[in-house]
A and B are shown apart, each in its own frame.
Chain A
């Protein structure tokens, strides 16, 4: 693996939709388009410059045709919310191999208003439809959450550790005008929130919003000649991994193998260590995920994730600022949050974040797909090694 990592590929354009949150006046495909046009403008490129298009959810040609782009490279890898980490990784491989020169990665989801989207269809004959859904493991909040009690139990941790995740991230969101939940909160308050699926209360579950985001990638060589080259963010390393579509069949309920494998490959290909990471974006559809990720990526030892967050390490001024936009729990979550985690990493590396961490040079982005189904990891930097 030589050509796609080590800063040879750059993100030269990045943008979310101008508005995020509740957007009942826009269809899903238009959210893709708005983000795409903004990201191209950010890169100083036009649709005519794009020869690769990728997205997760709709077919990539639904997006390319909508935008008037005729691509020679397509990717529609769909593995849930971390698809965008994989799409960035695949785009880098395509650019490095010459299969594409300029790749546009788009996301748009009318997750809250459900405008222009297909209704959810349950398949009662699929493995999950036969062996999980009949028991109520159907919605994300009643499926993804099921392993959490085991994780806590094995480590002598409690629900307070879940609440601490919410409180730490809310602190970032309070000062972010684009965040959906911005009221300061406390551990006691989070625990007293309405229960959704014990041990999870309302604020331990992500927000549900509408919005989109897009990225433009090209070679570092070409980036140097582009207007977007001045704020280029480079891909140092990446990894992807999966287990399966059924929560109950996780290899180890208290640790996710795909987090361990994808993150290890990302760190190895980037040739960086945990101590080099200035910012962690840890996809948080529910409050237990950052706990799993901190341990599975290896930022802390087994059983140390709760104390690490409670002691303030992931807050402002901490040793490892985490989910600095407020995360899926407080910022936004359209259904597939991965794109927004990448966008915040890019903003922090450019020095343009709503709540900027001083001196961020290397960011680690960890995504999760479906309910402990897949994982994607990126190591991004604002300078070439």
Chain B
């Protein structure tokens, strides 16, 4: 990936970004209703319970949808197409991400394909991106 904006954590999201820097995908699970949810906030998005815990999750999921963006905006490199994708984690939540590690062509991007997380440095943060992986099945 050729750059882009750098996320600025808030106190509520800081554990997610600290996890990314440590090479772990950390999201929250509600201790009351049991659901995983995303993006981070200190209460459950489904039942509003404040009893929630951070979990390091598998980092496995499937490719839900994508575009191949041929017009990246600065600070991203305008000459390098981005695969901007939706990935659904095995634990349930859906995330925006990039698919990396292949030539950005539709034939290389099977919907429902299994993906595995990895992390890319971006400024002072690390971004969770995903790679299509037969082993992730």
Show the binding face of A for B, using Cβ within 8 Å: 122, 124-125, 127, 129-139, 141-143, 145-150, 153, 194-200, 246-249, 253
Contacts and interface: CB of A to CB of B under 8 A. Distances in A.
Q: Give the 5 A-B residue pairs with the shortest CB-CB distance, closest first.
A: A150-B65, A198-B68, A248-B96, A125-B8, A197-B67
Contact of A124 (B8, B71, B95): B8
B86 A196 contact: no
Most interface-central of B67, B85, B86 (chain A CB within 10 A): B67
Which secondary structure characterizes the binding site on chain A?
mixed
17 contacts: A127-B39, A130-B17, A133-B4, A134-B5, A134-B122, A135-B4, A135-B129, A136-B84, A146-B86, A148-B65, A153-B65, A153-B111, A196-B69, A197-B71, A197-B84, A199-B106, A249-B94
Most interface-central of A134, A137, A141 (chain B CB within 10 A): A134
Interface residues of B, number: 37
A119 B13 CA distance: 28
Given A146-B66, A146-B86, A198-B68, A135 B98 contact: yes
Interface string B82-95: 10111000000011
Interface in B81-137: 82, 84-86, 94-98, 106, 111, 122, 125, 127, 129
Contacts of A248: 86, 94-96
B15 interface: no
Contacts of A129: 5, 7-8
A149 B66 CA distance: 7
Interface string B10-22: 1001000100000
A131 B7 contact: yes
